[in-house]
Amino acid sequence: MEWPISEVARMSGVTARTLRHYDEIGVLSPVRIGAGGYRYYGEPELLRLQQILVLRALGLGLPEIGLILTAQVDEVEALRGHHRRLLAERDRLDALAGTVSRTIAELEQSRKDGRPMTINRPENLFEGVEPSQYEANMRDFPELAEEVGRRAATMTQGDADTGHRERTAQMIRLAELMAEGHRADAEPVQAEIDAQYAALTELRTVSAEEYRAIGRSCVDNEAWRAAYEAIAPGLAAFQRDAIEAYATSMRG
């Protein structure tokens, strides 16, 4: 059987423009091109598209995906490898969700008791956190990713863990502000976003449009969105909207 590009787009949720881009860069070609340049895909192409989307969901960039697909021989073994990665990611997100749930409960109890939160084992705050995730998912922003990579190469493991813990703490603080009912453009929220922007500009100058694109990636990038939603449902969109408000003020 063959399916036209419009049907493949409908089934997979991937736009026809993205499918054409996959063809242009050589990761997924149609089985044939019909009249008027219309693309058609067969079952092998659908299986390959599934692998691409699974690997994207795991946070891999298209260059890495192309290399993986080129090196594959047995499709079943490849899918088993993807399945193992998905199960590992599921377990990590389950652990992260449990960590955040415990933190929320402890924060609520401390507020109820009118006392500061007591952290007996600080390392428990970061169970399920993957220190390399932020760097891996900067691939959509090549210049920033290059600078992140240079910095990472000179960091000790302790430095990398500390940086990732701070980013996780930023996400939790933003989730708290969202839970308190603050709008994305509210002053306390914008103060958090300003701190995030300042950390980015330590790497290099980031324009308003670039920062806006990073904000959109909090929702559009599957791995980023999963990380935000593991902290609190709706947090990815809240972060995006907060960055949008900040970037708009930069342009003004």
Tokens of residue 7, six digits: 């049907």
Q: Residue 47 carries which side chain, given as an amino acid letter? A: L
- What pLDDT is recorded for position 182? 93
CATH number at residue 35: 1.10.1660.10
176 in the same domain as 106: no
pLDDT at 221: 80
CA nearest 139: which of 51, 71, 214?
214
Tokens 């813990």 found at: 165
Provide Rg for the chain, Cα atoms.
21
Residue with tokens 């990579």: 149
Same domain for 139 and 229, yes or no, is yes
| Token pair for 6 | 């419009």
Query: What's the number of domains the chain is made of?
Result: 3
**213, 220 in Cβ contact below 8 A?**
no
Range of the domain at 49: 2-72
Q: Note the pLDDT of residue 239.
A: 94
Handedness of CA 24, 25, 30, 31 (dihedral sign): positive
- pLDDT tens for 118-158 read 554 444 545 555 544 444 445 555 555 555 555 555 556 55
Do 135 and 24 sit in the same domain of this protein?
no
Helix (H) or strand (E) holding 33: strand 32-33
Please check whether residues 66 and 174 belong to one and the same domain.
Answer: no
The rounded distance, in Å, linking the Cα atoms of 181 and 174 is: 11
Listed ranges 41-45, 62-66, 142-146; the one with the highest mean pLDDT: 41-45
Q: How many CB atoms lie within 10 A of CB 231?
A: 22
Does the pLDDT value for residue 194 go beyond 70?
A: yes
Give 203: exposed, middle or buried? Use CB within 10 Å, 0-12, 13-18, 19+. middle
* Tens digit of each residue's pLDDT (9 = 90 or more) over 209-226: 888 888 888 888 877 788
pLDDT for the residue 6: 93
List, in sequence order, every residue forming a beta bridge with 12; answer none if it has no partner. Answer: none
Question: What residues contact 107, with CB distance under 8 A and at least 6 apart?
Answer: 117, 176
Where does residue 228 rank: exposed (0-12), middle (13-18), buried (19+ CB within 10 A)? buried
Do 161 and 50 have their domain in common? Answer: no
Identify the weakest region by mean pLDDT among 121-130, 197-206, 228-237: 121-130
Whether residue 185 is predicted with pLDDT greater than 90 in this model: the reply is: yes
Q: Which pTM value belongs to this model?
A: 0.45
